[in-house]
Amino acid sequence: MVTSFQHVNPGKGAAFVRTRIKNAKTGKTLEQTYKTSETITFAEIEYRNMAYLYHDNTGYVFMDNKNYEQVSMSDEDMGEDAKYIKEGLEVLISMYEGSPIAVQVPKKMKFTVVETAPAVKGDTASGNVTKEAKTDTGFNVQVPIFLNQGDEIIVNTETGEYVERAK
């Protein structure tokens, strides 16, 4: 995916286009320069809204909301996003030639704290103090010390950091 581009016409030499490209499958970004005479072939990527159903030995299984078609993605294709997946979650799946290549989870998601150390009176003297908390999907996140087991929190899925307490 082209995330940004800039047409450059220097005083000397031929014009060129400087681009920033993101790999749809791996998510890695690279900068590429193209001469104006070059041609580029674009990949046809389809985006579908799907709901997460379950995880089995084949991977993560999703269902298309419109035609009820099911697709599965392996654990390695899911990558870091796997820790945010909950049953019934609506995600955006990138499809290339009929196969899923990437999943996009919502930027902010609500989780329940299932395990964390209790706050001890007097811990706030040093300012912004955090502790580790385990969420209902099993990943750990640093949260403020005032949060307790059973509290609902909002987590930024791009950075994996605590955002706020859920209302």
Is residue 131 in some structural domain? yes
Q: Are residues 68 and 28 in the same domain?
A: no
One domain, residues 97 and 129: no
Same domain assignment for residues 17 and 30:
yes
Q: Is the pLDDT of residue 23 over 80?
A: no
What pLDDT score was predicted for residue 62? 92
| Total Cβ atoms within 10 A of residue 116 | 20
**Residue 60 located in a structural domain:** yes
Structure confidence at residue 25 as a pLDDT band (50, 70, 90)? low
What are the φ/ψ torsions at residue 125 (nearest 5 degrees)? -60, -30
Tell me what pLDDT residue 11 has.
84
Do 97 and 146 sit in the same domain of this protein? no
CA distances from 148 to 6, 41, 124 (A): 49, 53, 15
Any idea what the CATH number is for the domain that residue 119 is in?
2.40.50.140
Answer yes or no: do 26 and 56 share one domain: no
The reported pLDDT for the residue numbered 63 is 92
Average pLDDT over residues 142-156: 87
What CATH code is carried by the domain that includes residue 28? 2.30.30.30
Confidence band, pLDDT 50/70/90 cuts, at residue 51: very high
Over residues 60-84, the mean pLDDT reads 87
Mean pLDDT of 65-90: 86
pLDDT tens for 89-135 read: 899 988 888 888 888 888 998 988 888 887 766 655 566 778 888 98
Q: How many domains does the chain have?
A: 3
By percentage, how much of the chain surpasses pLDDT 90?
9
* Same domain as 78, residue 56: yes
* Three-state secondary structure of 139-154: CEEEEECCCCCCCEEE
Contact yes or no for 8/15 (Cβ under 8 A): yes
Q: Mean pLDDT score of the chain, rounded to an integer?
A: 85
Query: Which residues span the domain enclosing 80?
Result: 45-104
- Asked, for residue 40, whether it belongs to a domain, the answer is no
Q: Which pTM does this prediction carry?
A: 0.70
Q: Domain ends where: 77, 104, 131?
A: 104
Quick one: pLDDT at residue 125? 54
Mark whether 61 and 97 lie in a shared domain: yes
